[in-house]
Structure 1
Amino acid sequence: MAIERQSFGSIQAGRGVAALLVVLFHASAKVFAKSDYWDTTILGGFFNFGHAGVDFFFVLSGFIIAHVHAADIGAPARLANFVRSRLLRIYPVYWFILIGVIALSLLPFGLNSSVHLTPQMVISAFVLVGPVDSPTVLAVAWTLFHEIAFYIAFGIAIASPRAGIVVAGAWVAGILASALGYPFLPPYLGDSINLLFLFGVGIWWLSKHHPQTLPIVLAWVGTAGFLALGMENVFAPVFSYAARHLLFGAASALIIGALVAQEGRRPIKVSPVLLTLGAASYSIYLTHFPVLGFVAKAHAIAAVRALPVALAFVLVVALTVLAGVAFHFLVEKPLTRATGRWWPRGGARSGSGATPLGRP
C-alpha cells in the first residue's frame, strides 16, 4: 500500500525529540561543562551525542521535501511555489533571530561579543550561502547552509530533471572527492553529512512504493542503533566523523521509514507534548543557543549555585525549551502567516499539499 498521508504524528514527535537532543547537547557541553559556569560533566557526558539530532533533521528534511514535492519534478511551472514555500519556511524567522543576535553582538560584553563580525560573515549569514565562516553569527546556522544547498539542488530538478541528475551526480562526486583528499567543492558542500538528504529521499521512495519492507520493528532497531552510536561517540569513540554521521543517518532513516509505513497502515497515538515540541522545533532550534547563553548567566546568583547540579540542569533545559515554544506561538506562527499573505501562492499548485514538517 502506497503512503499518501500528508501529516505523520510520529515524525512530528521525532522532530521534537531531535530538537531536545540538540538542546541537551549544548546545555551539557557548552554550558555546564564550562569553567565559567558549573564546570561539571552531566551524567559523564551522556548527552554529548545530542548533536546527532541534526543528522535526524537532515534525513527528515530529505524525506519531507521528496514527500511533498516529488510530483513537482519536471514541472517548471511549479518551481516558483517551491521557492516560495522554502524561503518562507526558513528565512523570516531566522532573520528575526539573526538581526537580534547581531544587535546584541555589537553591545559591549554582549552576546557573541567575542566574535568579530566581518561584512562577508554577515552577508553570508543573511543569504545562507557559503563560504561558511566558523563560527557562524548564529551558532546553529551552519546547518541551514546545507539545507539551502539541498533546496537549490531539488529546485534545479523541478526545473529540469536532467539538470537535476547532473547536479546531484556532481555533488555526490564532490563529496567523494573531498573524502579522498581531492576537494573541488567548498568545504561545507563537500561534507559527507550532505548525503543524509539523499538518505531521506531514499527512505521516502521506499516507504511510498514498498512500505511492506519497513515493519515497525525497524523503528526500534533504528532507535537502538542511534542510541548505541551515541554511547560509542561519548564513551568509546571508534568511528570517523564521516562514518559516524552516515551511521546516525542510516539509523534515522530506519526510524522515519518504519514509522511512516506504520502510519500508512494505522495512526500512531502521540503525546500532545511531543506534538507541540515538534511543531515548535524550528523555533527551539534557532533560539536555544542564545537563550542558553542568557539563562546560564543565572549561575552568578548564589541561590542558583546552591541548587543541586542535576536540578539546575533540568531547570536550564526546561526554561530554554519553553522559551523556544513561546517564540513559536508568539513570533514564528504570526510571522509565517504575515509573510504568507505578503507573498501569496501562485496559480500552479506545488506538490500534493501543504508542508507539515518541512523545516530543518
Structure 2
Amino acid sequence: MTAPSTKPRSAGSARPVRSGSRLPTLTGLRGISALLVFLFHISTSGLFRSQDMNADVVFVLGKAGGLGVSFFFVLSGFVLTWSARSDDTERAFWRRRCAKVLPNHLVTWALVIALMATTGIAASPFETVPHLDSVDGWLPSLTSLFLVHAWVPETAYSVAGNPVSWTLACELLFYLSFPWLLRGLSRIRPERLWAWALATVAVLVALPTAVGRLLPQTPALPWDPTVSSWHNFAISFFPPTRLLEFVLGIEMALIVLAGRWIRLGLLPASLLLAGGYVAALYVPFEYGIVAATVLPLALLIPAAARQDAEGRTSFLGGRFMVWTGEVSFAFYMVHISVIAYGHELVGGRERTWSTAAGFALWAAACLLAGILAWLLHRSVEVPAMRRFGRSRRTALRPQKPTAAPPATDQEAPASGTSV
C-alpha cells in the first residue's frame, strides 16, 4: 500500500504536514461523537413521565446519531490516509483492521444474543427484530454475526443482533476497498483535490433526491410512517452509499497532506457544524441523516488535524478526552444494550419517571456503559490488537525506531444511527 506524498507539486501551495503524526484532538472528538450516539438512542427510550419531555428530547437529539455515524465514517477515511505507510501491505492492513473490529463485535454479539434469549427482548429500541424462537428469528441475527446484514433491505436485518453493528458491515467494505481507493485518489493533482472533495459532497447532498425518485415509496418505516423504508435503507444502511463519506475523508486528508488546507480554524468549523445540525432538525428526514452536516464535518476533521500537526492541541486533546476517544469503539458496542436491558431491569420498558429521575437514569446508563466499555477495551480490544494485530514474523523482527509512531489505530468503527 502506498502512502500519499506530502510534497506539494505546484507553486503557491501552503506548507504540507507530515503524515503519521498523532491526532489527540480528533481522538477527543471521537469520544464526543460516541456520546452523541448514546444520547440519540437513550432519547428514544421514553423514560420520562411527561410525553412533552419525551417528544422534546427526541426532537433535539433526533439527528445526533446521524451526526455521530457520519463523523466516524469521514474520520475513518481521513485517519487511514493520514497514517498510511509506504512499507505497508494490503494483507497487513486488513489484519490490523480485523484485529481491531472483530473481537469486540463477537463478544458483544454473543452478549446480546444471550440477553435476547434470556429476556425475550431484542436490543433494538424499535420492535422490528423477531425473537429467537424460529429460523426466521435466528436468520437476521446470524447475518449480523457475519456482518452482512447491512446489505439486506429489511429493517429486521439492519438492526438485528447488536443493533449498532450494521456500521461494522459498512466499515468492512471501507477496509477492503481502501488500498485501491487510496492508490487511485493519490493520483489526483493537488490543485484539483478540492474540486473532487466538493463533488463528493454534492453527490451526498443530492443523494436523497435521487433515492426518492428511483426507489419505491412503500413500505413505510415501522417507527415513522412518513418515511419509506427503502429510502431509509439506501441512505442510512447501504454500505456502498456510506462509502462516499469514507471517500470524502480520504480526499480531505490528501488536501491537508498536500498543503492545500484553507486554514479554517477549529472554532469556526465547529460553529459551522452546529449550524448544520440545527438545519438537520428541520429539513426532511432523508436530508437530515447526512446531507445537512456532511460539509461542516468535512471541514471540522481537517481543522482539528491541522491544529494537532502544528502543536496547538486544545482541551479536546487532554488526557481525559483522549481516554474517552480510546474507549469510544467499546462504548459504542455496549451502550445500546445498557440502555435496552437496563430499562428492563429497573422496571420494564413501560415504566416512566419524573424529569429529574429520568435524566439521572441517563447519567447512570452513560456511566455504566463507560465502565463496561473500559473493561471491554482493556480485556478484549487491546489484547486482541497485541496478539493478532501483526503477524508473528513481524512481531519477532527488530523494529527500527521512528520519529513519530503512525496513528494506525486512531480511527474507530462508526457508531450507529437510526437503530
SS in 2 for 1:297: helix
Inter-partner Cα distance in structure 2 for 1:227 and 1:121: 36
Q: Deviations over 1:55-90 (max 9, x none)?
A: 111110110121223747xxxx81110111111111
Provide the residue aligned with 1:104 in structure 2. Answer: 115
Q: Deviations over 1:83-128 (max 9, x none)?
A: 1111111111111111221222222535549633545424422222
Provide the residue aligned with 1:49 in structure 2. Answer: 63
Provide the residue aligned with 1:169 in structure 2. Answer: none
2:30–2:324 CA contact under 8 A, matched in 1? yes
Provide the residue aligned with 1:168 in structure 2. Answer: none
Match of 1:282 among 309, 318, 329: 329
Inter-partner Cα distance in structure 2 for 1:274 and 1:340: 25
Provide the residue aligned with 1:195 in structure 2. Answer: 244
Provide the residue aligned with 2:307 in structure 1. Answer: 262
Inter-partner Cα distance in structure 2 for 1:32 and 1:45: 15
Provide the residue aligned with 1:152 in structure 2. Answer: 176
Provide the residue aligned with 1:252 in structure 2. Answer: 297
Code of the residue aligned with 1:7 in structure 2: it is R
1:2–1:207 CA contact under 8 A, matched in 2? yes
Paired residues for 1:1-360 under 5 Å: 1-4=15-18, 5-32=20-47, 40-41=54-55, 43=57, 45-51=59-65, 52-69=67-84, 71=86, 78-112=89-123, 115-117=130-132, 118=136, 120-130=139-149, 131-132=151-152, 133-157=157-181, 161=184, 178=211, 181=214, 187=234, 188-189=237-238, 192-210=241-259, 212-216=261-265, 219-234=266-281, 237-239=282-284, 241-242=286-287, 244-269=289-314, 270-300=317-347, 305=353, 308-340=357-389, 345=394, 353-360=406-413
CA change 1:295–1:8 in 2 (3 A) is same
Return 5+ residue gaps in structure 2 as ranges: 1-14, 189-199, 217-232, 400-404, 414-419
2:63–2:288 CA contact under 8 A, matched in 1? no
CA change 1:266–1:355 in 2 (3 A) is same
Inter-partner Cα distance in structure 2 for 1:44 and 1:154: 36
Q: Percent identity at matched positions?
A: 22
Compute the displacement of 1:138 (Å).
1.1
Code of the residue aligned with 1:292 in structure 2: it is I
Inter-partner Cα distance in structure 2 for 1:39 and 1:255: 31
Inter-partner Cα distance in structure 2 for 1:33 and 1:134: 27
Compute the displacement of 1:44 (Å).
6.9
Compute the displacement of 1:25 (Å).
1.0
1:28–1:42 CA contact under 8 A, matched in 2? no
SS in 2 for 1:106: helix
Aligned length: 337
Inter-partner Cα distance in structure 2 for 1:317 and 1:134: 24
Q: Deviations over 1:260-306 (max 9, x none)?
A: 112222240423221110000100011100011232235429xx957
2:82–2:253 CA contact under 8 A, matched in 1? yes
Provide the residue aligned with 2:219 in structure 1. Answer: none
Code of the residue aligned with 2:278 in structure 1: it is M
CA change 1:263–1:112 in 2 (3 A) is closer
* Larger deviation, residues 45-54 vs 313-322: 313-322
Inter-partner Cα distance in structure 1 for 2:61 and 2:285: 19
SS in 2 for 1:228: helix
CA change 1:87–1:55 in 2 (3 A) is same
Compute the displacement of 1:233 (Å).
3.4
SS in 2 for 1:213: coil
CA change 1:345–1:189 in 2 (3 A) is farther
Q: Deviations over 1:149-191 (max 9, x none)?
A: 1112224457x859x99xxxxxx999967565179xx944476
Superposition RMSD on alpha carbons, in Å? 3.8
Compute the displacement of 1:29 (Å).
1.8
Code of the residue aligned with 1:289 in structure 2: it is I
SS in 2 for 1:358: coil
SS in 2 for 1:124: helix
Code of the residue aligned with 1:82 in structure 2: it is F
Inter-partner Cα distance in structure 2 for 1:178 and 1:241: 9
CA change 1:46–1:108 in 2 (3 A) is closer
Inter-partner Cα distance in structure 2 for 1:22 and 1:86: 22
Compute the displacement of 1:11 (Å).
0.3
TM-score, reference length from structure 1? 0.79
